[in-house]
Amino acid sequence: MKECLIDTDTLSYYLKGDKIVIKNLEDYLYKSDFNKITISEITYFEILAGLEYRKARKQIQTFEKFISTCKIVKLSTSSLRKSAIQYGKLRRKGIMIGIPDLLIAGIAIDNDFILVTNNEKHF
């Protein structure tokens, strides 16, 4: 089984207690060789930025504790290149998506991860 990269929307559902998402992630961790949830540093930023905007101090503490159990994948020159290639392909087709989604996609492609997202429109 390939390693999964959890997108921001899926992690958000998980943190909000969505039972289906929780079960699916627990099943993945149990049935795979991976013992940590893998996210990108972009997802880390997006979740934390939303909590900071709301000044959700208690949720920030909970999130920071949770995130210490995760694997956080950083941007690399190679993943940035793959993101730029995808941007060029999409823009030539007249399709525009957010830069954070492009960066997450580049990380997934570069690391040969399966991207787990509910945001099918952008991915």
Residue 112 lies in a domain: yes
Task: Give the mean model confidence (pLDDT) for residues 29-34.
Answer: 88
Q: pTM here? A: 0.90
Question: Residue 108's domain spans which residues?
Answer: 4-116
* pLDDT score at 121: 55
Residue 26 lies in a domain: yes
* pLDDT score at 120: 61
CATH code, 70? 3.40.50.1010
3 state SS of 6: strand
pLDDT 10s digits, 52-86: 999 999 999 999 999 999 999 999 999 999 999 99
* pLDDT score at 1: 79
Q: What percent of the chain clears pLDDT 90, i.e. is strictly above it?
A: 87
Residue 55 lies in a domain: yes
11 has a pLDDT exceeding 70:
yes
Residue 122 lies in a domain: no
9 has a pLDDT exceeding 70:
yes
Return the number of other C-beta atoms located less than 10 Å from residue 31's C-beta. Answer: 9
Contact 51, 63 (CB under 8 A): yes
Residue 122 binned pLDDT confidence (cut-offs 50, 70, 90): very low
* pLDDT score at 31: 87
Q: How far is CA 37 from the centre of its chain?
A: 10
Residue 9 lies in a domain: yes
Domain count, the chain: 1
Distance (Å) of CA 65 to CA 6, 72, 108: 17, 13, 24
Q: What is the mean pLDDT of the chain?
A: 93
Residue 50 lies in a domain: yes
Residue 123 lies in a domain: no
